Structure 1
Amino acid sequence: MVETHVLPAAPLVAAIDLGSNSFHMMVARIEHGEMRPVERLAEPVQLASGMRNGALCDDAIARGLECLARFRQALDTLKPGRVRIVGTNALRVARNGRHFRTVAEKVVGHPVEVISGREEARLVYLGVAHTLADDDARLVVDIGGGSTEFIIGERFEPRLMESLHMGCVSYGDRFFGDGKITDKAFEQAYLAAYREVLNIRTAYKRHGWSNVVGSSGTLRSLESVIRAQGWSEAGITGDNLKKLRKQLGKYRSVKELCALAGLSDRRRNVFASGLAISCAFFDALGIEHMSTSSGALREGLIYDLMGRHSHEDVRERSVTAMMQRYGVDEAAARQVEETARYLFVCARESWGLADEDQDLLVWAARLHEVGLAIAHSQFHKHGQYLVERSDLPGFSTTEQIEIGLLVRGHRQKFPQKEFAFKANGLRETLERLCILLRLAVMFKFVIPVDGSPSYHLQVAGRGVSLNVPGSWLQEHPLTQFALQSEQAYLARAGYTLEIARS
Structure 2
Amino acid sequence: MVPPGNKAPGRLEALKPLAVVDIGSNSVRLVAYEGLTRALTPIYNDKVLCGIGRGVATTGKLNEEGVERALSALSRFRVLCDLLKIKDVHVLATAAARDAKNGREFLAAAEKTLGAPVDLLSGERESRLAALGVVSGFYAPDGVVGDLGGGSLELNEVHGGRLGKGVSLPLGGLSLMDMTGRSPKKASKLVRDAIAQIKGLDQLKGRTFYAVGGTWRALARLHMHQRNYPLNVMHGYIIPRRDAEDFVSLVERVNAEALVAIESVAAARRPLLAYGAVVLEEIIRRARPNQIVVSALGLREGLLYERLDAQERKIDPLIQAASDLNILRSRAPRHGWDLCAWTDAFMRSTHIDETKNEQRLRHAACLLADIGWRAHPDYRGEQSFNIIANAAFVSIDHSGRAYLALATSYRHMGFEHDVSPQLRMLATPRLLDRAQLLGAAMRVGYAVSAAMPDVLPKTPLVCRRGKVVLKLPREFAPLASERLANRLRQLGRLIGREPDIIIE
Residue of structure 2 in register with 1:5 after alignment: none
What is the deviation of 1:130?
Answer: 1.3
What is the deviation of 1:210?
Answer: 3.2
2:223 to 212, 221, 226: 226
Residue of structure 2 in register with 1:91 after alignment: 97
Whole-angstrom CA distance in 1 between matches of 2:163 and 2:143:
9
Say whether the 8 Å CA contact 1:19–1:89 is kept in structure 2. yes
Residue of structure 2 in register with 1:297 after alignment: 299
Name the SS of the counterpart of 2:19 in structure 1. Answer: strand
Letter in 1 for 2:297: G
Aligned runs of 1:200-279 on 2, under 5 Å? 200=198, 202-206=199-203, 210-230=207-227, 234-248=237-251, 251-252=254-255, 260=262, 262-279=264-281
Residue of structure 2 in register with 1:174 after alignment: 179
Whole-angstrom CA distance in 1 between matches of 2:30 and 2:206:
31
1:56 to 59, 62, 75: 62
Residue of structure 1 in register with 2:18 after alignment: 13
Say whether the 8 Å CA contact 2:134–2:141 is kept in structure 1. no
Whole-angstrom CA distance in 1 between matches of 2:89 and 2:242:
42
Say whether the 8 Å CA contact 1:153–1:160 is kept in structure 2. no
Name the SS of the counterpart of 1:123 in structure 2. Answer: helix
Once the two structures are superposed, residues 335-357 of structure 1 have per-residue CA deviations (whole angstroms, 9 ceiling, x without a partner) of: xxxxxxxxxxxxxxxxxxxxxxx
1:38 to 34, 43, 46: 43
Say whether the 8 Å CA contact 1:83–1:110 is kept in structure 2. yes
Once the two structures are superposed, residues 240-287 of structure 1 have per-residue CA deviations (whole angstroms, 9 ceiling, x without a partner) of: 3443355346645x6666973643323212111111111111112122
Whole-angstrom CA distance in 2 between matches of 1:311 and 1:282:
31
Q: CA RMSD in A?
A: 3.2
Name the SS of the counterpart of 1:160 in structure 2. Answer: coil
Instruction: Go from structure 1 to structure 2 and tell me whether the alpha carbon gap of 1:31 and 1:148 turns closer, same or farther (over 3 Å shift).
Output: closer
Gaps of 5+ in 1: 1-7, 178-184, 313-502
Name the SS of the counterpart of 2:250 in structure 1. Answer: helix
Whole-angstrom CA distance in 1 between matches of 2:244 and 2:38:
39
Say whether the 8 Å CA contact 1:84–1:301 is kept in structure 2. no
Are 1:137 and 2:142 an aligned pair? yes
Residue of structure 1 in register with 2:109 after alignment: 103
What is the deviation of 1:20?
Answer: 0.7
Say whether the 8 Å CA contact 1:14–1:302 is kept in structure 2. no
1:66 to 72, 83, 86: 72
Letter in 2 for 1:89: A
Aligned runs of 1:328-367 on 2, under 5 Å? none
Whole-angstrom CA distance in 1 between matches of 2:81 and 2:206:
39
1:82 to 79, 82, 88: 88
Identify the range of structure 1 (108-117 vs 229-238) with the bigger mean alpha-carbon deviation: 229-238
Say whether the 8 Å CA contact 1:13–1:82 is kept in structure 2. yes
Residue of structure 1 in register with 2:31 after alignment: 26
Say whether the 8 Å CA contact 2:142–2:158 is kept in structure 1. yes
Normalised TM-score (structure 1): 0.53
Aligned runs of 1:175-190 on 2, under 5 Å? 175=180, 177=182, 185-190=183-188
Instruction: Go from structure 1 to structure 2 and tell me whether the alpha carbon gap of 1:171 and 1:152 turns closer, same or farther (over 3 Å shift).
Output: same
Say whether the 8 Å CA contact 2:148–2:216 is kept in structure 1. yes
Whole-angstrom CA distance in 2 between matches of 1:190 and 1:35:
37
Name the SS of the counterpart of 1:295 in structure 2. Answer: coil
Say whether the 8 Å CA contact 2:206–2:288 is kept in structure 1. no
What is the deviation of 1:19?
Answer: 0.8
What is the deviation of 1:10?
Answer: 0.8
Whole-angstrom CA distance in 1 between matches of 2:250 and 2:177:
18
Whole-angstrom CA distance in 1 between matches of 2:206 and 2:83:
43
Are 1:199 and 2:197 an aligned pair? yes
Are 1:153 and 2:150 an aligned pair? no
Letter in 2 for 1:203: G
Letter in 2 for 1:141: G
Instruction: Go from structure 1 to structure 2 and tell me whether the alpha carbon gap of 1:311 and 1:154 turns closer, same or farther (over 3 Å shift).
Output: closer
Instruction: Go from structure 1 to structure 2 and tell me whether the alpha carbon gap of 1:307 and 1:72 turns closer, same or farther (over 3 Å shift).
Output: farther
Name the SS of the counterpart of 1:269 in structure 2. Answer: helix
What is the deviation of 1:37?
Answer: 1.6
Instruction: Go from structure 1 to structure 2 and tell me whether the alpha carbon gap of 1:59 and 1:286 turns closer, same or farther (over 3 Å shift).
Output: same
Once the two structures are superposed, residues 57-114 of structure 1 have per-residue CA deviations (whole angstroms, 9 ceiling, x without a partner) of: 2112111111111111122368998221111000110000000001111111100111
Residue of structure 2 in register with 1:412 after alignment: none
Whole-angstrom CA distance in 2 between matches of 1:209 and 1:246:
21
Residue of structure 2 in register with 1:368 after alignment: none
Say whether the 8 Å CA contact 2:204–2:287 is kept in structure 1. no
Say whether the 8 Å CA contact 1:149–1:164 is kept in structure 2. yes
Residue of structure 2 in register with 1:454 after alignment: none
Whole-angstrom CA distance in 1 between matches of 2:83 and 2:309:
22
Identify the range of structure 1 (233-242 vs 145-154) with the bigger mean alpha-carbon deviation: 233-242
Say whether the 8 Å CA contact 1:141–1:150 is kept in structure 2. yes
Aligned residues: 296
Whole-angstrom CA distance in 2 between matches of 1:309 and 1:80:
25
Whole-angstrom CA distance in 2 between matches of 1:211 and 1:311:
22
Name the SS of the counterpart of 2:137 in structure 1. Answer: coil
Instruction: Go from structure 1 to structure 2 and tell me whether the alpha carbon gap of 1:288 and 1:70 turns closer, same or farther (over 3 Å shift).
Output: same
Instruction: Go from structure 1 to structure 2 and tell me whether the alpha carbon gap of 1:289 and 1:210 turns closer, same or farther (over 3 Å shift).
Output: closer
Aligned runs of 1:318-397 on 2, under 5 Å? none
Letter in 1 for 2:209: V
The percentage of aligned residue pairs carrying the same residue is 26
Identify the range of structure 1 (109-118 vs 279-288) with the bigger mean alpha-carbon deviation: 279-288
Residue of structure 1 in register with 2:121 after alignment: 115
Whole-angstrom CA distance in 2 between matches of 1:31 and 1:124:
18
What is the deviation of 1:42?
Answer: 1.5
Are 1:163 and 2:160 an aligned pair? no
Once the two structures are superposed, residues 441-474 of structure 1 have per-residue CA deviations (whole angstroms, 9 ceiling, x without a partner) of: xxxxxxxxxxxxxxxxxxxxxxxxxxxxxxxxxx
Say whether the 8 Å CA contact 2:142–2:207 is kept in structure 1. yes
Name the SS of the counterpart of 1:11 in structure 2. Answer: coil
Normalised TM-score (structure 2): 0.53
Letter in 1 for 2:239: I
Say whether the 8 Å CA contact 1:139–1:153 is kept in structure 2. yes
What is the deviation of 1:295?
Answer: 0.6
Whole-angstrom CA distance in 2 between matches of 1:209 and 1:238:
10
Name the SS of the counterpart of 1:61 in structure 2. Answer: helix
Say whether the 8 Å CA contact 1:189–1:273 is kept in structure 2. yes
What is the deviation of 1:298?
Answer: 1.3
What is the deviation of 1:171?
Answer: 1.1
